């Protein structure tokens, strides 16, 4: 509370003593509804009040704090003020200035202040008083306390019984009666849609209806859990979390390579019930895991595909302020990571300490560094090459050198010839003009990172060159080469980050279909205008100088990227035979000067030189000396004994080909501790960088990430850690949300103080603990919920529930739920028989209507019916989102949406009434119906009902159908004749059924 200077504190103190007992007395006389709890709980009763009404001025954000008082910590709230008073004096409401201020009527004294427009209710004031009198026990925010279970025995009960135990407890407490179990047709439809997003087939319904055995329901649930369509539905839930899209939006809507492979990865992961902690580790750090999961069938590296998670964001081309662009991009990643995995709004701390949650800007920038140290990279979609072969090739290379060296030594032994290494030519002058960014003329790649297999971890220095007669012609000069094994293998060679301080960057390179890029502030969409010059194609078999004018970006960080292949419209291509070789990279201001060699080895004898050579430790000088001997024919050149080894090597190398398709994923850069951006601006940085670490509220104080790389793996481990109090809770709550339409914590993406409290905290903790003990099995959690009684209840509320729990917080009955956009479209296709259940693969191009215009518009529209494929396989183009999907509330992909809006707007009715897709499918279905011979009128209606609303039609419904069709026939002037046979009539009838509320609602 802000103590205003206008107040004389002595008077104030007197006032407190005088006024408080009166106020206290008055407030005790009140009856509150609901009654005050016997024990006031800080988390459930008090903190919500403080958060809503006090924290704007007395919360964690020091920049907006007033009166030097903070009420977000016990220490702050009970601190002795200058005036010798305490805002909260535990056990003594009457001595607490807070009580005095909140009860006061004088606008100068009262809290919250009148201009804040915040007011405390009488009940809230009474709660605070009672809580202080009871000792003002302070607790950590509920979601930061690890889940606990008071009754361990419940965990031992059958999986579904625990759920009902806690649900029934709440019902009892609130005087509610559970509704009876829903009918069997409702149940199978509910289970089928919620697990697979598709209606049950007529056969499945018949089977389930006929199965009177006690285990019938359970078996039915297991069938749907085991269906491959399960993953297609649950992957889509997760895609809402990760702003899934297949293009980058912005002006030209460029493709995100391999986005669909990530979608397929998710589908497989959910179908295979990949443990959730693994799902976390793979998405956040799949590229860094020791055991990478390879898909045996397709050769895809699942763990790496998972990291496409990072590249799902929007992509701006040609931002003038590329540093800001990076900050925005990283912010989006932090935002999504925080919400999706932790249910926390971390990005609120970008500009100031979080107003409500214990997340500081330091926390934000400790995560910022992790993402900043992460680099984007094309990765071969199919990495089937066996690392075994690569190792084999390496050892063959070793043994080859050993054989050659032995032969040479023997050949020379008698002569005892000394090899005199030519004395180094020392550089004439050392200038500050040129900085060497990379020199590959010696053995190693220095600090540069070689990603993929192409460049291996050495230069070519000393590699023997044979002629066709298997004679050694020479040893190779040093250079970084992408064809050390052969072409067709992907790799990238990247420099460490450096700050641009000279006008130019130069590389001496040769190659074919290759490129060299200067990546400034991690900016990837390099193109004209502005950045076009930062991506140069290398297409020359002879050495050439490639020069980049980086003068506009002095002071900014950058790295150099060397690739066998190139980007075309930001899609990476690696044609057969593409390669690149580089001698060195320099930075200079005016004149290109070849940097001097760095090795000035001592003169030495051949034995030592060859020893070094065998161990890949030669200097360029030694190699050049050996080459002189080869040229002088002093060394035996014929190496026929290597013939078989060379052939074998060639053969093995030929098997090592990467796929020519790439995904847009990530790779690790270098450790990067970011400074805090003061008020979110990179133009104003804190003096010291903050160390990379997980959120300070959720880790031991000294748990700092010290990885040499980005620290992503450690981040993933912190989140997947069983001791993390949020991870399991957030996920089981999402599962609950998807099944009941509302989470136990309604704000599924916000478990912070601004989020809603759990309606059933014990149930949430029970589910979270069980989830962990079940090895983070998503399917087991879903199964337990589906087998519980609460899931099977009918949608009809009892009288009590109507009155006292209209929002159905305690789930006395099952909530009515509208189907999602995808399920509605898929249901129509399923009914019409058009549904093509093919799984996976590139997306079906978006159908472009005449209302969809703008830049980056695809040349050709996709098919109206999406080839009958399930909606999850329809392309998600950011700038051309499918209108039917968007209208039925599929979220716009820019951040996490754990909970979709459920709107009810006329454009939805207009789609179902008039959209050509719906009408066409009605016709398709009508044709099938009419083609099915020997169906009576009644059976036709039944045929339609089973395929649309998954049940049989009543006599009344058949009557209504007859009536409609007769009326329509009259209009069509088809009196008489065979009305059953007319496709128009049945099309209209089916179209009407598609428009029934029952068709798009689950009950």
Return the residues of window 958-987 that contact other proteins according to CB under 8 A: 960, 963-964, 967-968, 971-972
| Residues 875 and 844 sit within 8 Å (Cβ to Cβ) | yes
- Determine if 911 is a binding residue for other proteins (CB under 8 A): yes
Q: What is the DSSP letter of 679?
A: G
Dig out the tokens for 180 from the structure. Answer: 């009876």
- Of 624 and 992, the one with the shorter C-beta distance to other proteins is 992
The first and second tokens of residue 593, run together, are 């000067």
Binding-site member from 428, 901, 936, 978 for other proteins (CB under 8 A)? 901
Does position 536 interact with other proteins (CB under 8 A)? The reply is no
Residue 618, preceding bond cis, omega within 30 degrees?
no
Binding mask 749-788 for other proteins (x = CB under 8 A): xx-x-xx---------------------------------
Subset of 275-314 contacting other proteins (CB under 8 A): 314
Nearer to other proteins, 451 or 988 (CB): 988
Q: Which of residues 69-128 bind other proteins (CB under 8 A)?
A: 117, 119
Binding mask 487-526 for other proteins (x = CB under 8 A): ----------------------------------------
Using CB under 8 A as the criterion, what x/- string covers residues 337-376 for binding other proteins? --x----xx-xx------xxx-------------------
Measured CA to CA, the distance from residue 487 to residue 578 in angstroms comes to 6
Choice between 373 and 752, CB closer to other proteins: 752
Our CB check for other proteins shows the closer of 610 and 695 to be 695
| Residue 910: CB minimum distance to other proteins, A | 4
Shortest spacing between CB 500 and other proteins, in angstroms: 15
Minimum CB separation of residue 636 from other proteins in Å reads 59
CB of 894 to other proteins, least distance (A): 3
How would you label 300-316 residue by residue, b for 16+ Cβ within 10 Å and e otherwise?
A: bbbbbbbbbbbbbbbbb
**Exactly one of 420, 431, 576, 886 binds other proteins (CB under 8 A); which one?**
886
Residue 227, helix vs strand vs coil: coil
Q: How far apart are CA 1000 and CA 214, in angstroms?
A: 30
CB of 239 to other proteins, least distance (A): 16
**Counting contacts by CB under 8 A, is residue 908 touching other proteins?**
yes
- The stretch among 30-38, 404-412, 414-422, 791-799 that binds other proteins (CB under 8 A) is 791-799
Among 135, 423, 427, 854, binds other proteins (CB under 8 A): 854
Q: In this chain, which of 30, 68, 914, 939 binds other proteins, going by CB under 8 A?
A: 914
Give min distance, CB of 805 to other proteins, in A: 14
DSSP state letters, 884-921: HHHHTTPPPTTS--SS------HHHHHHHHH-HHHHHH
Q: Which of 134, 140, 607, 849 binds other proteins (CB under 8 A)?
A: 849
The residue from 430, 855, 933, 975 that contacts other proteins (CB under 8 A) is 855
Instruction: Give the three-state DSSP class for 11.
Output: helix
As a whole number of Å, the end-to-end CA separation of the chain is: 50
Rounded to whole angstroms, the Cα distance separating 273 from 777 reads 6
Angle, in degrees to the nearest 10, between helices 778-787 and 727-740: 50
By CB under 8 A, residue 64 contacts other proteins: no
**Binding of other proteins at residue 919 (CB under 8 A)?**
yes
**Candidate list 328, 396, 774, 980; residue touching other proteins; CB under 8 A:** 328
What distance in Å separates the CA atoms of residue 94 and residue 100, rounded to the nearest whole number? Answer: 8
Could you tell me which stretch among 196-204, 500-508, 582-590, 742-750 binds other proteins (CB under 8 A)?
Answer: 742-750
- Smallest gap from Cβ 803 to other proteins, in A, equals 13
Selected binder of other proteins within 879, 942, 948, 950 (CB under 8 A): 879
> To the nearest whole angstrom, how small is the minimum distance from the Cβ of residue 397 to other proteins?
47
Contact pattern for other proteins over residues 176 through 195, marking x by CB under 8 A: --------------------
Nearest distance from C-beta of residue 15 to other proteins, angstroms: 26
Q: Which two tokens stand for residue 234?
A: 């649950």
Site for other proteins in 422-451 (CB under 8 A): none
Q: Distance between CA 413 and CA 416 in Å, rounded?
A: 5
Q: Which is nearer to other proteins, 150 or 904 (by Cβ)?
A: 904
Which residue among 723, 905, 932, 983 contacts other proteins (CB under 8 A)? 905
Q: Residue 506 contacts by C-beta under 8 Å, 6 or more apart in sequence?
A: 545, 546, 547, 548, 585, 586, 587, 588, 592
Nearer to other proteins, 335 or 865 (CB): 335
Residues 6+ apart with CB under 8 A from 386: none
- Cβ at position 575, least distance to other proteins in Å: 30
**Please, where are the H alpha helices in 692-820?**
712-720, 727-740, 761-773, 778-787, 789-792, 799-804
Q: Give whichever of 641 and 963 is closer to other proteins, judged by the CB atom.
A: 963
For residue 817, give the H/E element and its range.
Answer: strand 817-818
Query: Helix H segments across 197-275?
Result: 202-210, 216-226, 229-241, 259-271
Q: Which residue is listed with tokens 């004994």?
A: 641
Structure tokens at 418: 């000394």
The answer to whether residue 847 forms part of the interface with other proteins (CB under 8 A) is: no
Q: Does residue number 551 form part of the binding site for other proteins (CB under 8 A)?
A: no
984-1003 binders of other proteins (CB under 8 A) = 988, 991-992, 995-998, 1000-1001, 1003
**With respect to other proteins, which residue has the nearer C-beta, 18 or 320?**
320
- Mapped onto helix, strand or coil, the DSSP state of residue 80 is strand
Q: Which is nearer to other proteins, 513 or 988 (CB)?
A: 988
User: Is residue 827 within the footprint of other proteins (CB under 8 A)?
Assistant: no
Distance, CA of 883 to CA of 219 (rounded, Å): 38
Q: Which span sits near other proteins by CB under 8 A: 191-199, 317-325, 729-737, 832-840? A: 317-325
Q: Report d(CA 416, CA 411) in Å as an integer.
A: 10
List C-alpha distances in Å: 127 to 114, 132, 356, 865.
21, 9, 21, 59
Rounded distance between C-alpha atoms, residue 450 and residue 561, angstroms: 10
CA angle centred on 151, ends 147 and 156, rounded to 5°: 95
Shortest approach of other proteins to residue 903 CB, angstroms? Answer: 5
Please, which residue, 263 or 991, has the CB nearer to other proteins?
991
User: Counting contacts by CB under 8 A, is residue 564 touching other proteins?
Assistant: no
Comparing CA positions, the residue from 328, 346, 350, 330 lying closest to residue 338 is: 346
* C-alpha–C-alpha distance, residues 920 and 714, integer Å: 53
Token readout for 75 is: 């220490």
Residue 273 DSSP SS3: coil
- Give the HSE-up count for residue 693: Cα atoms under 13 Å, Cβ half-sphere: 18
Q: Which of residues 932-961 bind other proteins (CB under 8 A)?
A: 956-957, 960
> Minimum CB separation from other proteins for residue 119, in Å?
8
- Bridge partners (DSSP) of residue 379 are 663
Which one of residues 473, 909, 932, 983 is an interface residue with other proteins (CB under 8 A)?
A: 909
- Contact stretch for other proteins (CB under 8 A) within 422-430, 446-454, 582-590, 844-852: 844-852
Please report how close the Cβ of residue 533 comes to other proteins at its closest, in angstroms.
9
- Does 660 bind other proteins (CB under 8 A)? Our answer is no
- Which residues lie closer than 8 Å to 668 by C-beta, 6 or more apart? 287, 288, 373, 374, 375, 449, 709, 710, 712
Report the nearest approach of other proteins to the CB of residue 901 (Å).
5
- What b/e string do you get for 61-96 counting C-beta neighbours within 10 Å, with b at 16 or more? beeebeeebbbbeeebbbeeeeeebbbbbbeebbbb
The C-alpha angle 678, 680, 686, rounded to 5 degrees, equals 25
Nearer to other proteins, 543 or 937 (CB): 937
């Amino acid at each position: 509370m802000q103590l205003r200077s206008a107040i004389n504190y002595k008077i104030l103190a007197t006032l407190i003593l005088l006024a408080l007992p009166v106020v206290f007395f008055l407030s005790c006389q009140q009856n509150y509804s609901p009654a005050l709890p016997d024990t006031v709980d800080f988390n459930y009763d008090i903190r919500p009040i403080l958060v809503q009404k006090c924290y704007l001025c007395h919360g964690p954000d020091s920049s907006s704090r007033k009166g030097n008082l903070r009420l977000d910590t016990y220490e702050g709230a009970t601190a002795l003020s200058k005036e010798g008073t305490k805002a909260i004096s535990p056990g003594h409401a009457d001595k607490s200035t807070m009580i005095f201020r909140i009860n006061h009527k004088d606008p100068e004294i009262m809290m919250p202040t009148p201009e804040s427009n915040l007011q405390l209710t009488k009940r809230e004031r009474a709660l605070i008083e009672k809580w202080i009198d009871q000792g003002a026990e302070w607790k950590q925010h509920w979601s930061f306390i690890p889940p606990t279970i008071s009754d361990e025995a419940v965990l031992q009960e059958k999986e579904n019984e625990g759920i009902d135990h806690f649900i029934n407890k709440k019902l009892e407490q609130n005087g509610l009666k559970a509704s009876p179990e829903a009918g069997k047709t409702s149940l199978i439809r509910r289970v089928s849609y919620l697990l697979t997003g598709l209606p049950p087939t007529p056969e499945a319904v018949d089977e389930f209806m006929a199965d009177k055995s006690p285990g019938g329901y359970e078996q039915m649930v297991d069938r749907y859990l085991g269906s491959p369509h399960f993953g297609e539905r649950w992957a889509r839930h997760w895609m809402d979390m990760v702003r899934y899209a297949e293009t980058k939006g912005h002006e030209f809507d460029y493709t995100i390579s391999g986005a669909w492979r990530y979608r397929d990865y998710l589908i497989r992961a959910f179908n295979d019930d990949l443990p959730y902690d693994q799902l976390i580790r793979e998405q956040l750090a799949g590229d860094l895991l020791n055991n990478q999961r390879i898909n045996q069938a397709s050769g895809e590296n699942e763990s790496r595909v998972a990291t496409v998670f990072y590249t799902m964001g929007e992509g701006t081309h040609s931002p003038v302020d590329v540093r800001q662009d990076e900050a925005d991009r990283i912010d989006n990643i932090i935002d999504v990571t925080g919400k999706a995995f932790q249910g926390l709004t971390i990005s609120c701390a970008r500009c100031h300490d979080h107003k409500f949650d214990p997340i500081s800007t330091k926390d934000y920038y400790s995560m910022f560094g992790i993402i900043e140290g992460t680099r984007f990279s094309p990765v071969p979609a199919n990495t089937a090459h066996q690392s075994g072969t690569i190792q084999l090739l390496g050892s063959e290379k070793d043994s080859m050198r050993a054989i050659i060296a032995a032969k040479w030594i023997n050949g020379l032994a008698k002569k005892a010839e000394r090899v005199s290494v030519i004395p180094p030519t020392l550089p004439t002058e050392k200038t500050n003009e040129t900085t060497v960014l990379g020199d590959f003329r010696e053995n190693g790649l220095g600090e540069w990172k070689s990603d993929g297999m192409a460049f291996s971890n050495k230069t070519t220095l000393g590699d023997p060159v044979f002629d066709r007669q298997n004679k050694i012609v020479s040893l190779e000069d040093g250079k970084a080469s992408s064809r050390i094994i052969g072409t067709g293998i992907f790799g990238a060679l990247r420099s460490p980050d450096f700050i641009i301080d000279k006008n130019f960057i130069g590389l001496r390179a040769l190659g074919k279909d290759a490129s060299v890029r200067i990546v400034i502030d991690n900016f990837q969409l390099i193109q004209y205008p502005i950045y076009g010059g930062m991506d140069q194609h290398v297409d020359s078999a002879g050495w050439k100088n490639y020069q980049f004018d980086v003068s506009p970006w002095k002071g900014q960080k950058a790295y150099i990227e060397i690739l066998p292949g190139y980007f075309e419209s930001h899609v990476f291509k690696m044609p057969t035979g593409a390669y690149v070789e580089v001698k060195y990279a320099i930075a200079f201001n005016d004149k290109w000067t070849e940097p001097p060699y760095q090795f000035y080895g001592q003169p030495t004898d051949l034995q030592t030189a060859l020893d070094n050579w065998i161990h890949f430790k030669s200097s360029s000088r030694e190699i050049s000396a050996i080459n002189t001997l080869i040229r002088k024919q002093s060394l035996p050149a014929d190496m026929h004994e290597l013939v078989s080894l060379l052939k074998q090597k060639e053969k093995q190398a030929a098997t090592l080909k990467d796929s020519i398709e790439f995904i847009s994923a990530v790779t690790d850069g270098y450790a990067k501790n970011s400074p805090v951006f003061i008020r979110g601006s990179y133009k104003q940085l804190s003096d010291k960088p903050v160390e990379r670490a997980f959120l300070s509220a959720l880790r031991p104080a000294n748990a700092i990430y010290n990885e040499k790389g980005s620290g992503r793996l450690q981040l993933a481990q912190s989140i997947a850690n069983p001791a993390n109090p949020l991870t399991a809770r957030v996920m089981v709550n999402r599962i609950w949300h998807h099944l009941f339409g509302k989470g136990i914590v309604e704000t599924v993406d916000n478990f912070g103080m601004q989020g809603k409290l759990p309606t059933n905290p014990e149930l949430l903790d029970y589910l979270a603990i069980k989830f962990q003990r079940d090895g983070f099995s998503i399917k087991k959690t879903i199964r337990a919920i589906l087998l519980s009684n609460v899931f099977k209840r009918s949608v009809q509320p009892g009288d009590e529930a109507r009155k006292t729990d209209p929002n159905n917080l305690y789930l006395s009955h099952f909530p009515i739920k509208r189907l999602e956009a995808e399920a509605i479209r898929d249901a129509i296709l399923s009914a019409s028989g058009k549904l093509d259940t093919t799984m996976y693969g590139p997306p079906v191009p978006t159908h472009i209507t005449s209302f969809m215009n703008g830049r980056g518009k695809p040349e050709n529209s996709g098919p109206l019916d999406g080839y009958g494929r399930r909606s999850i396989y329809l392309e998600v183009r950011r700038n051309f989102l499918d209108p039917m999907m968007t209208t039925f509330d599929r979220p716009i992909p820019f951040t996490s949406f754990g909970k979709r809006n459920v709107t009810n707007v006329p454009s939805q009715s207009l789609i179902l009434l008039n959209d050509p897709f719906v009408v066409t499918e009605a016709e398709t279905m009508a044709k099938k119906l009419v083609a099915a011979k020997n169906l009576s009128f009644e059976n036709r209606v039944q045929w339609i009902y089973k395929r649309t609303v998954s049940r049989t039609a009543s006599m009344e419904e058949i009557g209504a159908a007859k009536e409609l069709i007769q009326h329509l026939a009259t209009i069509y002037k088809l009196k008489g004749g065979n009305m059953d046979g007319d496709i128009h009539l049945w099309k209209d009838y089916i179209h009407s059924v598609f428009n029934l509320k029952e068709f798009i609602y689950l009950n």
